[in-house]
Amino acid sequence: MKKQLKKAVCIVISAAMILAALTVGAFAADSFTITDPYKNIDWDTVNSYKTALHSHTNASDGDITLRQSLQRHLETGYDAVAITDHGIVNYSWEKPVKIGFIHSALKMLGRSKGDLDYLGTSGSFESGEKYTLTNENGDDVLVIGDRKILRIPYGIEQNAVTVNAHVCSWFADYHKNLPVDYEDAVRGATKNGGLCVINHPGEYTQARYELFSEDAYDLGNFAYRYYFNKFYGLIDKYDGCLGIDINSKGDDRTRYDRKLWDEMLIKAAENGKTVYSIATSDAHQLDKIDTGSTVILAKELTSESIKNAMKNGEMLPQSTCISNYDELVSITEAIRSLYGETDLYKELSDITERYAAERLEKVKSKSTSNVGIRYRALDDEGYSDRTRPAVNSITVDDAENTIKIETENSLLIRWISNGKLVATTKADGSAFDLDDFADEIKGYIRAEIFGEGGIVYTEAFMLNAENTQPHKTSFINFGFFDFIFGQVNRYINVIKRVR
């Protein structure tokens, strides 16, 4: 009798364990619905166009002419370029256009140097390479041998006479030579059928001057909370505003703007939406041109195809610079753990040690200046012999809850969700299983692909978006003078800095 009872109990327990396992397995398999921004990409046929979405010439405050800029963009492998001078819509590379007040004012202030230099219909660069400027199906295309560079139409940075509208827009003939706010710029670009992004937010919010990641964009801080609500609200309100610039120039200004992006993605996930990102050079000088760019995945090198890809988030921001201490420490430790004490590990370790020392000095002195240490895969002239990491394909298996990223020239993939680093994996083409990190993943997942030549960011994969109730987000906008919040907050934080 006892044996039969024990046997019965064992059968019941075993059945319960099997049922529990099946239940957990069923739950895990259904735990995520992944929204893939690259779902419409045929990776076998799509083209990856290296694109400059933010660059300047001496038509505003750049140190370089249009001709010099385009020659360097050619040398560094760009396929499409937007010239986005302050307050000046770019109508042509061929001939001078009326630029009026902005150029005259900047020249008088010594911010614009030298004569303006347009290309004509044909000519040669200083390198001796000959070019022709043609019109193909309504697009201006610079042809150099078997290479082409597309002019992205109507490029402009909208802050003509104000610090308060760092917004690049394209595809819309819109600008105002008046004091304007971010919302004026975003509204105008959207209303006229264009696309735009908020440029390098950390410069405006003054987050660039924080020494510690936890302090930057702390939403318990009034100023940061205000800027977060305003910027997210603009992206949410205006369909033409794609998102923000997360890594530009040397990344000194944008070092914490990935954190801002994550905060926005957390908010967007609650609303069943998303926020896109780009990376740019914001080049005013030749050596900055290849610091940041955005790979746009499109079928054709046309403005229409590029615009459609941008609207759909079919982009891969990339940069040759990283200036965030916590990211660099994490990458350094991962290189050592996965690859050993390589030369790259030693280089990164030296950078993080110097960064820590400089940061400590600024804490002691209560300095308000930036930390100037960063990982930079370019030499002082702005060139690099380091091969850039690249994404060859992204495959999402919604049934298995996996994301597989095929890359080249890369070492690590960092997986970020809910504002935190979830995992770091070797960039070996293995599928990343979200179920393995189900307790840590919430709202979205995004990837950062790191190699010796720089870093590539994916757009975010939003999770379980169908379970949310989309709604518009209200925000307060104090307009033209709200840049004061950032300035005041910066100096209050320095006074309070006691560590």
Model confidence at 111, pLDDT cuts 50, 70, 90, reads low
Model confidence at 418, pLDDT cuts 50, 70, 90, reads very high
pLDDT (0 to 100) of residue 20 = 41
More confident residue, 469 or 444: 444
User: Where is average pLDDT lowest: 15-19, 175-179, 372-376?
Assistant: 15-19
Model confidence at 109, pLDDT cuts 50, 70, 90, reads low
Mean pLDDT of 391-404: 96
- Give the tens place of pLDDT for each residue, 48-62: 999 999 999 999 889
Q: Which residues of 283-319 are buried (b: 16+ CB within 10 A; e: fewer)?
A: bbbbebbbbbbbbbbbeebbbebbbebbebbbbbbbb
Encode the chain in three state secondary structure: CHHHHHHHHHHHHHHHHHHHHHHHHHHHHCCCCEECCCCCCCCCCCEEEEEECCECCCCCCCCCCHHHHHHHHHHCCCCEECCCCECCCCCCCCCCCCCHHHHHHHHHCCCCCCCCCCCCCEEECCCCCEEEEEEECCEEEEEECCEEEEECCCCEECCCCCCCCCEEEECCCCCCCCCCCHHHHHHHHHHCCCEEEECCHHHHHCHHHCCCCCCCCCCCCHHHHHHHHHHHHHHHHCCCEEEEEEEECCCCCCCCHHHHHHHHHHHHHHCCCCCEEEEECCECCHHHCCCEEEEEEECCCCHHHHHHHHHCCCEEEEECEECCHHHHHHHHHHHHHHHCCCHHHHHHHHHHHHHHHHHHHHHHHCCCCCCCCCEECCCCCCCCCCCCCEEEEEEEECCCCEEEEEEECCCEEEEEECCEEEEEEECCCCEEEHHHHCCCCECEEEEEEEECCEEEECCCEEECHHHCCCCCCCCCCCHHHCHHHHHHHHHHHHHHCCC
Q: What percent of the chain has pLDDT over 90?
A: 77
pLDDT (0 to 100) of residue 21 = 41
Question: Mean pLDDT over all residues of the chain?
Answer: 90
Helices 222-237, 483-496: inter-axial angle, 10-degree rounding: 150
- Give the tens place of pLDDT for each residue, 216-236: 999 999 999 999 999 999 999
User: Where is average pLDDT lowest: 8-12, 125-129, 428-432?
Assistant: 8-12
Model confidence at 493, pLDDT cuts 50, 70, 90, reads confident
The answer, yes or no, to whether residue 255 has pLDDT greater than 80, is yes
The answer, yes or no, to whether residue 494 has pLDDT greater than 80, is no
Model confidence at 497, pLDDT cuts 50, 70, 90, reads low
pLDDT (0 to 100) of residue 178 = 79
- Whether 160 and 86 have beta carbons less than 8 Å apart is answered as yes
The answer, yes or no, to whether residue 202 has pLDDT greater than 50, is yes
Model confidence at 459, pLDDT cuts 50, 70, 90, reads very high
pLDDT (0 to 100) of residue 99 = 74
pLDDT (0 to 100) of residue 110 = 64
Domains and CATH numbers, the chain: 47-323 (3.20.20.140), 325-373 (no CATH)
The full length of the chain comes to 499
- Give the tens place of pLDDT for each residue, 326-335: 999 999 999 9
Model confidence at 28, pLDDT cuts 50, 70, 90, reads very low
The answer, yes or no, to whether residue 366 has pLDDT greater than 90, is no
